[in-house]
Amino acid sequence: MNLSTTGVWFLVLGLALTTAFIKAAGPVLVGGRAMPRQFMRVVSFAAAPLLTALVVTSVLADGRRIGVGADTVGVLVGTVLLVCRVPLVVSAAAAVVVTAVLRAVA
Amino acid sequence: MSAADRESFRRGVRLGLPFGAVGFMISVSYGVLATEAGFTSWQAIAVGGLVFAGSAQFASLSIVAGGGGIPAALAAATLMNSRFLAMGIALAPSLPGGPVRRAAQGQAIVDSSWALASRGDGTFDRWQLFGTTFPQYFLWLAGTVAGAYAGDLVGDPERLGLDALFPVFFVAILLAELKRPGARLVALTGGLIALALVPWTPAGIPILVASTAALLGLAVPETGPEPEVTA
């Protein structure tokens, strides 16, 4: 890392301010206005693609490269368990163990 | 706060606890990796407490740990956070009050609470959203403190497989979303858009652009309210 201790504090401050600003922007700019029906329809479908994109990029993307690793298998196991209605905490623990074991033997 | 609001808040807290438990371990990894990169313990903890956004935290950390500067780190964090802009716009009509109160309520947006508080008709149960965020915030902060001070005990988060937690956390939220008619097609399209953009754009952009797949929702025939979400 090339940042000094003061530099890191600037980064911390910058991260806190930009995140707070982004989270405030939607509610403040749109206000409490009722939005058109079509808008609400699109909004109600926004979570699925956002979450899918978060999952596939965190599992398959390493910078700008696409590839699979031990974590891909671990997440797959966790996903199968979640689909089988295994509680999140247990499924997550299984994903961690599978990933760690695969890395240990690789 | 009415009795119904209190009930919504309590339901939110119950929904948030498992996510908080997994979030605790994710923030332990953050605390370990940040102090390893050269952050002081207080700096790592300040990020956990003031930023409270995992994807932005890890994106910015990987940039400065790799020798990058503050502008690049902030840009990466902002791209990862840009989805909160979309979520905030969606949530806006469901929030009361003037600009200051609205800005404050917007701070409660995190992925799990936003997705679970959606009633499926475009409106949100705001007290449930606050409730879901509440335990997650304190567990996130506690995990960061643990990671920042106990890095030597934890060792290398990646060797321990802790990086698998982050995607599983989001899969759990996603599975609840996929129960509604049409959501699978929209999700699949979003995932393909994101993958197609990964080689060509900075991290964060693929996720933001993937949200345009929600426009397909206009083509889905309208049905009654979505089934109750349980986690």
Strand partners, A66: A61
- How would you class B29 by CB atoms within 10 Å of its CB: exposed for 0-12, middle for 13-18, buried for 19 or more? buried
Inter-chain residue contact A51 with B114, CB threshold 8 Å:
no
In contact, B167 and A56? CB cutoff 8 Å: no
User: What is the least distance, in Å, from the CA of A19 to any CA of chain B?
Assistant: 6
CA A64 to chain centre: 17
Residues 28-57 of A with CB under 8 A from B: 28-35, 38-57
- What are the chain B neighbours of A71 within 8 Å (beta carbons)? 161, 163-164, 167
Name the residue among B73, B93, B210 with its Cβ closest to that of A50: B210
Inter-chain residue contact B170 with A58, CB threshold 8 Å:
yes
pLDDT above 90 covers what percent of chain A? 70
pLDDT above 70 for B229? no
Residues 6+ apart with CB under 8 A from A36: none
Residue B57: the pLDDT is: 94
Residue B43: the pLDDT is: 98
Band (B231; pLDDT cuts 50, 70, 90): very low
Among chain A residues, CA nearest to B184: A48
**Nearest 10 degrees: Cα torsion A60, A65, A66, A71:** -40
B128-153 pLDDT per residue, tens = 999 999 999 999 999 999 999 988 78
B87-123 pLDDT per residue, tens = 999 999 999 999 999 999 999 999 999 999 999 888 9
User: What is the least distance, in Å, from the CA of A79 to any CA of chain B?
Assistant: 7
B13-49 pLDDT per residue, tens = 999 999 999 999 999 999 999 998 999 999 999 999 9
- What are the chain B neighbours of A82 within 8 Å (beta carbons)? 168, 171-172, 175
CA B58 to chain centre: 12
User: What is the least distance, in Å, from the CA of A23 to any CA of chain B?
Assistant: 5
Band (B223; pLDDT cuts 50, 70, 90): low
In contact, B189 and B228? CB cutoff 8 Å: no
- DSSP string for B112-172: HHHHHHB-SSS-B-HHHHHHHHHHHHHHHHHHHHHHHH-HHHH--TTTTTGGGHHHHHHHH
User: Token match 């990862």: residue?
Assistant: B80
- Token readout for A56 is 């596939």
- Token readout for A63 is 């910078």
Kindly report the pTM of this predicted structure: 0.86
Average pLDDT taken over every residue of chain B = 90
